[in-house]
Structure 1
Amino acid sequence: MKKGWISIAIAVLVVGVIIFMNQSNTGNRDTRPEAGFTAPDFTLLNEEGKEVTLSQLKGKPVFINFWASWCPPCKEEMPLIQEAYEKYGNQVVFLGVNLTFQDSREEAISFMKSNGYEMPILFDDNPDVKKTVAKLYRAESIPTSFFIDKNGVIQVKKIGAMNYDEIESNINKIIGD
């Protein structure tokens, strides 16, 4: 009798694992800040005070970079992102999400302008750190970048600074059909 119940329990467990794995592999239905999943939606303000909503960019590849003006690896990576922006800005939407809750708008804008960087920046300045877009995306260290295809699916999540070849390779992953 015990063997029968154990067999049923194992069968139920196996079916549950198969269903879970199947749902995890579909990716497009789930929203998670990881490769293979739909990018979590957000709305932030840009430098002009206009709202930018990620879901409204669906149909276009998107590059998101979480950064701060005081961050040494961010400063190192930014000229390379600017170079990619100049080359691919007509094919990919570039968004620099400034961790304004740890930085300031003034510092971020000054940093971008003084260095001639033109990538659009958004301000992640929710005073409740638990509700920031950085928290939503689990960008716990910076820089952290996301390469999102035109369907809104994250193709690459990269923690840490990238060299130009890596940036370009990841951009090609999201613009290639």
Structure 2
Amino acid sequence: MLEKSFSGRKGFETRCVQLNNPFRKIWFQSLLLIVLAGAVLYALFQQEATKESGAMPGGRAPSFELEDVQGGKLRLADYEGKGLALNFWASWCNPCVNELPLLNEAYKLAGFEMIAINVGEDAEAAQKFVDRYELAFPIALDKEQQVKKRYRVVGLPLTVLIDPQGAVIERHEGELKDMADILRLMERLKDE
């Protein structure tokens, strides 16, 4: 232990103590190691949770059951054995407003399976949009945004392709602007 003394102007004495204790050094290194190990484990678990949740291609698509705009039920399990496109959207989202009519035309042309999942809106708002654009595919309502969270949707629109075995094969974030690109993307559902 090294001790130094300093005298102040008015006679007050201040003591600074510097510890050169090997146990303190070991304790600090151990604490640092624990923090680093925790950070690495957290990152690994987050990565694995993301993959298992279906958020990334290769992961299993999370199951869901949602109400549709007519009050019926739409379940992922009902599409088992078929390729499926999920499109997350909202009526206030301008890129969604641009994209959904194109997806509707592609749906009619190519005949792929699709569910458009409205995020955070009620049946009335979604139905107005469906009627305005004469959408032909099923519309599910994710009012509480639980499916949005399970699919780790951070921005709209998002299109997720699921193969017949239930694995995510593609995630397209943002607006699909070109019919040829949409048809090429949906062709992946038939190739799997």
With the shorter chain as reference, the TM-score category is 0.7 to 0.9
| Counterpart for residue 7 of structure 1 | none
Are 1:112 and 2:130 counterparts? yes
Q: What is the TM-score when the length of structure 1 is the normalising length?
A: 0.75
Q: Which has the higher strand share?
A: 2
1:34 pairs, out of 32, 37, 56, with 56
Computed over aligned residues only, the root mean square deviation of the Cα atoms, in angstroms, reads 1.7
| Counterpart for residue 93 of structure 1 | 113
Cα offset for 1:56? 2.6
Give 1:118-157 correspondences, 5 Å limit: 118-126=136-144, 129=145, 132-157=146-171
**The residue matched to 1:140 in structure 2 has which SS?**
coil
| Counterpart for residue 169 of structure 1 | 184
Cα offset for 1:40? 0.8
* Structure 2 unaligned residues grouped into runs of 5+: 1-43
What amino acid is the match of 1:97?
A: I
What amino acid is the match of 1:41?
A: S
Query: In the TM superposition, what whole-angstrom CA distance separates every residue of 1:117-169 from its partner, at most 9, and x where no partner exists?
Result: 2221000012xx5xx10111111100001011111111110110012222211
Q: Percent identity?
A: 29
What is the count of residue pairs matched by the alignment?
143
Query: In the TM superposition, what whole-angstrom CA distance separates every residue of 1:94-121 from its partner, at most 9, and x where no partner exists?
Result: 100001x2x3321111111112222210
What amino acid is the match of 1:156?
A: E
Query: In the TM superposition, what whole-angstrom CA distance separates every residue of 1:20-55 from its partner, at most 9, and x where no partner exists?
Result: 9xxx7xx7xx44221111111111011221221102
| Counterpart for residue 160 of structure 1 | 174
Q: List structure 1 segments (4+ residues) > 6 angstroms apart after TM superposition.
A: none
Q: What is the TM-score when the length of structure 2 is the normalising length?
A: 0.69
Q: Which has the higher contact order (CA 8 A, sep 6+)?
A: 1
Q: Is the 8 A contact 2:54 2:167 kept in 1?
A: no
| Counterpart for residue 83 of structure 1 | 105
Tell me: CA distance 1:104–1:31, structure 2 relative to 1, closer, same or farther (3 Å): closer
Cα offset for 1:75? 0.5
Instruction: Work out which of the two has the higher radius of gyration on C-alpha atoms and give 1 or 2.
Output: 2
Cα distance between partner residues in 1 of 2:182 and 2:169:
13
**The residue matched to 2:61 in structure 1 has which SS?**
coil
**The residue matched to 1:107 in structure 2 has which SS?**
helix
**The residue matched to 2:128 in structure 1 has which SS?**
helix
